[in-house]
C-alpha cells in the first residue's frame, strides 16, 4: 500500500471527487493560483479551471455564504478556511444558514457543502491562530463534524464528506499535514460517524481525535514500557458520534481518559465523559479524566505553548490517576 502524507491524501480526495462529479467545486483564500496556503489544493486549479477552483478575496463570510447558496441549488462546494480561526467570521453562515435552512423550511432545502481547513494549534502562532473550535461546531444540530487523525482517514472521510448531502465541518490539523501513512490506491470511502480503535490494549481507554491521537500514541508507547496497555479510540467524527466504539472499549478496560486540544471549559471531552458515565457507570473503576488545553488564550513563547497543550506526559499522568498508580 502506498505511503503518502495527509496533505497528499486530502489533495487526492478532492481531485478524485472533482473528477467524479462536476457539481463539486472549491473556493477559498489562495486555493487556486497560489496552490493553497498549505498546498492542500496543489494542482487543482490547473486541472479544473477558475470556476471550479476559485480564489476569493479575504472575506470569510462570503466564502461560506457562496458555498451555502450554491449548495442550496444543488452544487457541492468545498469552502476552504485558511485556518478555522477565521471561520469565526463565517459563523453566521454556518450556524444560522447552512445548519438551519432544512429545518426552518420544513425539509425543502438541503446544504451539501464541506467547510474544511486546519484547526488547532500549529507552532508558535499565538492566541488568534491556535484554536480548537470543534466543540463549537459539534454543538450545532444540523452539522456533521469530522476530525481525521491519519492520511487514510483523511482521504476516506473527506470523500464521504463531499458526497454527503449535509453540511460537513471537516477540521484538519496543520501539524499533521506531513504525517505519513498507508493509504489504499483503490477507490474507498470511510463512513462518517464510525470510530476506530487506533491501538488495542486492555488496561485503559484513551479517547482522542485529530492531533490528540498523536499525544495518546506517544503516551501509550511509554506506558507500555511500564506494562500498561492503553487502548486508543478515535471517534473520527464528533457529530454524529460513534458511542459504541467508546463504550465497548471502556467496558473492557473499565477506565477512561479523554484527550483534546480544546479548552476544558465546556469542551467536547465533557460530552464524552457525560455519555461514558451514564452508559458505562457499572463498568467504571475510576472517574473519567480529561486532558485538555489550559483554560487561557494560547501564548506565543515556546515554553508556555508546551505548557498550554496536552502533552504525552499529561496523558500518562491522567492514566496513572485512573489506574490509581
Positions marked catalytic: 60, 129
Nearest approach, Cβ of residue 318 and other proteins (Å): 26
Would you give the DSSP letter of residue 301? S
Taking the least distance from each CB to other proteins, the nearer of 73 and 303 is 73
Residues that bind other proteins (CB under 8 A): 25, 51-52, 54, 56-57, 59, 61-62, 64-75, 77, 92-93, 96-97, 101-110, 112, 141-142, 144, 160-161, 163-166, 189, 191-194, 237, 240-244
| 15 close to 44: Cβ distance less than 8 angstroms | yes
Nearest approach, Cβ of residue 192 and other proteins (Å): 5
Nine cell digits for residue 138: 459539534
Q: How far apart are CA 325 and CA 2, in angstroms?
A: 41
Task: Output phi, psi for 322, to 5 deg.
Answer: -75, -20
- How many CB atoms neighbour CB 111 within 10 A? 24
- How many CB atoms neighbour CB 187 within 10 A? 8
Nearest approach, Cβ of residue 110 and other proteins (Å): 5
Taking the least distance from each CB to other proteins, the nearer of 46 and 301 is 46
What is each CA distance from 113 to 108, 183, 307, 310, in whole angstroms? 16, 24, 37, 32
Taking the least distance from each CB to other proteins, the nearer of 191 and 287 is 191
DSSP-derived 3-state class of residue 263 = strand
Q: How far apart are CA 247 and CA 244, in angstroms?
A: 5
Taking the least distance from each CB to other proteins, the nearer of 91 and 222 is 91
User: Which residues, 6 or more positions from 308, have their beta carbon under 8 angstroms from its beta carbon?
Assistant: 121, 293, 294, 296, 298, 299
Residue of 88, 85, 74, 68 whose CA lies nearest to 27: 68
Q: How far apart are CA 295 and CA 266, in angstroms?
A: 10
Nearest approach, Cβ of residue 112 and other proteins (Å): 8
Taking the least distance from each CB to other proteins, the nearer of 26 and 309 is 26
Nine cell digits for residue 149: 487523525
Nearest approach, Cβ of residue 289 and other proteins (Å): 24
Amino acid at each position: 500500500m502506498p505511503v503518502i502524507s495527509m496533505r497528499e491524501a486530502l489533495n487526492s480526495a478532492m481531485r478524485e471527487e472533482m473528477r467524479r462529479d462536476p457539481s463539486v467545486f472549491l473556493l477559498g483564500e489562495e486555493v487556486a493560483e497560489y496552490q493553497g496556503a498549505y498546498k492542500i489544493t496543489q494542482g487543482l486549479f490547473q486541472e479544473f479551471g477558475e470556476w471550479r477552483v476559485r480564489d476569493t478575496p479575504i472575506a470569510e463570510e462570503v466564502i461560506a455564504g457562496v458555498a451555502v447558496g450554491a449548495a442550496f441549488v444543488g452544487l457541492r462546494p468545498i469552502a476552504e478556511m485558511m485556518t478555522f480561526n477565521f471561520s469565526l467570521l463565517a459563523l453566521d453562515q454556518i450556524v444560522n444558514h447552512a445548519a438551519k435552512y432544512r429545518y426552518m423550511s420544513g425539509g425543502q432545502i438541503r446544504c451539501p457543502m464541506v467547510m474544511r481547513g486546519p484547526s488547532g494549534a500549529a507552532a508558535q502562532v499565538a492566541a488568534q491562530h491556535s484554536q480548537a473550535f470543534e466543540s463549537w461546531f459539534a454543538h450545532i444540530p444540523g452539522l456533521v463534524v469530522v476530525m481525521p487523525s491519519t492520511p487514510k482517514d483523511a482521504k476516506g472521510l473527506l470523500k464521504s464528506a463531499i458526497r454527503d448531502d449535509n453540511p460537513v465541518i471537516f477540521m484538519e490539523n496543520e501539524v499533521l499535514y506531513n504525517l505519513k501513512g498507508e493509504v489504499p490506491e483503490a477507490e474507498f470511502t470511510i463512513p462518517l460517524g464510525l470510530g476506530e480503535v487506533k491501538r488495542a490494549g486492555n488496561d485503559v481507554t484513551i479517547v482522542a481525535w485529530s492531533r490528540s491521537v498523536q499525544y495518546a500514541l506517544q503516551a501509550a508507547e511509554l506506558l507500555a514500557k511500564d506494562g500498561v496497555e492503553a487502548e486508543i479510540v478515535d471517534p473520527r467524527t464528533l457529530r454524529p458520534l460513534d458511542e459504541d466504539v467508546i463504550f465497548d472499549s471502556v467496558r473492557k478496560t473499565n477506565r477512561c481518559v479523554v484527550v483534546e486540544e480544546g479548552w476544558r471549559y465546556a469542551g467536547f471531552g465533557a460530552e464524552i465523559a457525560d455519555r461514558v458515565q451514564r452508559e458505562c457507570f457499572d463498568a467504571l473503576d475510576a472517574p473519567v479524566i480529561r486532558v485538555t488545553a489550559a483554560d487561557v488564550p494560547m501564548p506565543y513563547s515556546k515554553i508556555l505553548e508546551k505548557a498550554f497543550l496536552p502533552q504525552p506526559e499529561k496523558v500518562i499522568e491522567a492514566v496513572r490517576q485512573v489506574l490509581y498508580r
